[in-house]
Amino acid sequence: MAWAFTVAILFSVVAVAAASLSIPLHPDSGTFVSTVGNNGTTMFLPLFFNNHNHHRHKDDFYPRRHLQNGSTPNARMPLHDDLLLNGYYTTRLWIGTPPQRFALIVDTGSTVTYVPCSTCEQCGKHQDPKFQPELSSTYQPVKCNIECACDNNREQCIYERQYAEMSSSSGVLGEDIVSFGNQSDLKPQRAVFGCETMETGDLYSQHADGIMGLGRGDLSIVDQLVNKGVISDSFSLCYGGMDLGGGAMVLGGISPPADMVFARSDPVRSPYYNIELRELHVAGKKLPLDPKVFDGKHGTVLDSGTTYAYLPELAFGAFKEAIFKELQSLKRIQGPDPNYNDICFSGAGSDSSQLSQAFPSVEMVFSDEQKLLLSPENYLFRHSKVRGAYCLGIFQNGKDPTTLLGGIIVRNTLVTYDREHEKIGFWKTNCSELWERLHLPTATPPLPSGTGQMNSTMNRTPTLTPTLAPTLAPNLAPIQPPPPKAPGLWAFGL
């Protein structure tokens, strides 16, 4: 299974950037969510799902969400692609003056945003042209200083990322104006990013142009925007379901719905976005596990750049046994790839909206006894060769005691990374429908300098433009703006 399904654990980092974990591997109608940029505006970014390597399927349509805007600016971006075909979601970002467009994988396990540089002779062919710093009037190299690793001439800061699946990215650090597309009210911002001079492995062969690093670290795009005071210290991701990809990303704080489930996330415990998982239930029955099993090494890590979920050996054994007990009426079959020992079942039918009739529910219980219900689409992927067959998307994490929760776990779930309050929230919703409520007509992103034209790098992923006033969803009137404490209000209700 391609790199999209790889867990990548960073084992070498050179530069100002912090560590990255990305392991490659095989409602209520009265509920509302409001974006609240306490320290600035909030950005909604579309996520795009990619159709390549693996399996997909269909899911229930939740009641449609609606987005309403207040009188203050807001930035938002859709997500593109779909998790199990390419193993990642992407959004679009524009860099430079005039803006050059890029499709970037959204990755909470990475702390650096990087794109291929025009000087890179060892970079793969991706969906957009390489970044040409020489064509940007606002580009500046990050000069060598005591806080970064430097090139051989000690002139410019460099970075390097190496991943466990033997892919890597390295290059120089530059600073330029970053634009968030035609659906954003956030003005373009200067930001530091990596300009790649070398790619290897899956990073070389992937379709997406690069990575948008959302992890904890000074070079993270989130940290940079927070430090500028233009967004609050929070962001949210919402991945589409089994058959419908896409989704949305919000950079900035949100006012959570009353039934959002929270888990504590301790930045001291791990540099990654961890949660305090204590129990797993299958079909309402608690697995006979000591809570400490979920606290090994890095603990339980939530990583948007990982496709599947990985449990420590003891936990996976108990989970697999419980699933087998509940699926005695289904036939065990061989997986789609003979190189992997996938656990697959046939006889469940092709309608993924009816999977709960054949497969049991799973619950994750956090330290404060809050529970997150996982429907079958949150732990299954569709068999690519046998109609009506599905395979477990939860695997054993080798001998590694870390519990790793990838994107499959949070399909059709709004996940809020509330870094300011050290917690992560989960709210079940239809993420594919959510972006439709946010959608605006396509337009060229604004030019930082006020004039010029965008380069022609159209082909898939995010977009934005700060000067455009947001368009309301059909039949929706503006809501009353909140007190001054909560600028950038948006709300999407059932």
Residues noted as catalytic: 107, 303
Q: Which of 236, 281, 296 is nearest to 372 (CA)?
A: 281
d(CA 303, CA 305): 5
d(CA 434, CA 457): 26
Whether 81 and 91 have beta carbons less than 8 Å apart is answered as no
Cβ contacts of 181 within 8 Å, gap of 6 or more: 45, 77, 92, 93, 94, 445, 462, 463, 464, 465
3-state secondary structure of 346: strand
Q: Report the DSSP pairing between strands 413-418 and 423-428.
A: antiparallel
Residue with tokens 């050996």: 313
Q: Which two tokens stand for residue 168?
A: 């890597």
Whether 194 and 120 have beta carbons less than 8 Å apart is answered as no
Sign of CA dihedral 267, 424, 461, 21: positive
d(CA 88, CA 413): 16
Residue with tokens 């807001």: 74
3-state secondary structure of 227: helix
What length is written for the chain? 494
d(CA 411, CA 170): 31
